[in-house]
């Protein structure tokens, strides 16, 4: 099969880690007979330097014509003083909105070889932690009506939480479909005891669940969900929730794994189109020093193969290759521990590619 990929290396360590992901993808193509065509594009700080805009129109147009998008990272100290609408991070919001990316998938997995990095006690971790947070990405309070007004206590600001039946239905279906490929359990997180938008959320999720009788559905208030993630994380399989709750809970889930450099993510639109990126930032302090951990980006490639192209065997091959390298004791600096072998960005990419 042939696939057209839009590639946005971005800023800081972005180009380095994307290079390693492409190295691994090349091996996948060799082994399974796929051909990947890459279009290298600008977004973020590098785009500001080159064009004056964080997200050039050409980048969006090429992304729309591609089968999927690979993103490294955007941002850095260099652009911190720019006005809000010109910040590199606006490229991310622009891509999500203009490409219709409504579902953010954030897996939180603890690898056996890295259990010592988890801040939780071994008896809490149990055999393993493998959670998928499915966050609604283009609705809710981040996109609702907002502003300033004169209130009963004087000047006040407001942000509005609003969800339509359609928005909840499509994110719920995404979560149930993903659960079918995992352990067949969905936990819907809301605040239905207080918020009207959450009451609608719960009603719609229950309605959608009737189409998935093979998947167990449970409901949990967001405050309890935050507590349960550190109290008994093994109870979760797929968590589905709104934009703001998902923003917070996905960060919490990622931190219990012990290393942000290990975690991939996907932002999906209609018809399996997706943007794939590591959850970490551009780390400008280590850019160009062969220190960055490329595993999150490489695992993002595995997510792309699985969720956009339905290439499950190829995705598992990448995941298995990462596991092999970790079991052999190779580590980048962020996951280094006593008795292991320290390697740089490029060698880590080589090692994983060799094990495909």
Residues belonging to the chain: 356
d(CA 254, CA 261): 10
Q: Which residue has the tokens 């996905």?
A: 250
Among 150, 118, 95, CA closest to 255: 118
The residues assigned a catalytic role are: 142, 191, 223, 247, 251
Sequence-distant (≥ 6) Cβ neighbours of residue 167 within 8 angstroms: 102, 136, 138, 139
Among 230, 223, 225, CA closest to 119: 230
Pairing between β-strand 146-151 and β-strand 154-159 as defined by DSSP bridges? antiparallel
Q: Going edge to edge, which strands form the sheet with 264-268?
A: 35-40, 2-10, 68-73, 274-278, 264-268, 103-109, 130-136, 238-241, 185-190, 216-221
């Amino acid at each position: 099969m042939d696939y057209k990929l839009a590639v946005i290396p971005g800023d800081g360590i972005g180009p380095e880690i994307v290079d390693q992901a492409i190295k691994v993808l090349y091996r996948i193509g060799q082994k399974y007979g796929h051909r990947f065509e890459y279009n290298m594009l600008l977004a973020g700080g590098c785009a500001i330097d080159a064009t004056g805009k964080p997200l050039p129109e050409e980048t969006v147009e090429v992304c729309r014509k591609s089968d999927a998008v690979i993103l490294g990272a955007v941002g850095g100290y260099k652009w911190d003083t720019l006005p809000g609408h010109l910040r590199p991070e606006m490229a991310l919001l622009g891509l999500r909105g203009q490409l219709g990316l409504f579902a953010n998938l954030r897996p939180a997995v603890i690898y056996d070889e890295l259990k010592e990095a988890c801040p939780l006690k071994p008896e809490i971790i149990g055999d393993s932690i493998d959670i998928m947070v499915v966050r609604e990405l283009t609705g809710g309070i981040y996109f609702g009506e907002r502003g300033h007004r004169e209130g009963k206590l004087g000047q006040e600001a407001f942000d509005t939480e609003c969800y339509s039946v359609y928005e909840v239905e499509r994110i719920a279906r995404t979560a149930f479909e993903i659960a079918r490929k995992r352990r067949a359990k969905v936990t819907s997180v809301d605040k239905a005891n207080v918020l009207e938008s959450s009451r609608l959320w719960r009603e719609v999720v229950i309605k959608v669940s009737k189409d998935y009788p093979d998947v167990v559905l449970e409901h949990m208030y967001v405050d309890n969900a935050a507590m349960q993630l550190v109290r008994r994380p093994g109870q979760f399989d797929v968590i589905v929730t709104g934009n703001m709750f998902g923003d917070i809970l996905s960060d919490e889930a990622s931190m219990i794994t012990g290393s942000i450099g290990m975690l991939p993510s996907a932002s999906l639109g209609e018809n399996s189109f997706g943007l794939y990126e590591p959850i970490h930032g551009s780390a400008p302090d280590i850019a160009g020093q062969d220190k960055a951990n490329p595993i999150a980006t490489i695992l993002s490639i595995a997510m792309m193969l699985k969720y956009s192209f339905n290439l499950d065997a190829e995705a598992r091959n990448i995941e298995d290759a990462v596991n092999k390298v970790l079991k052999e004791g190779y580590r980048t600096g962020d996951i280094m521990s006593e008795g292991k072998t320290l390697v740089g960005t490029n060698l880590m990419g080589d090692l994983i590619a060799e094990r495909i």
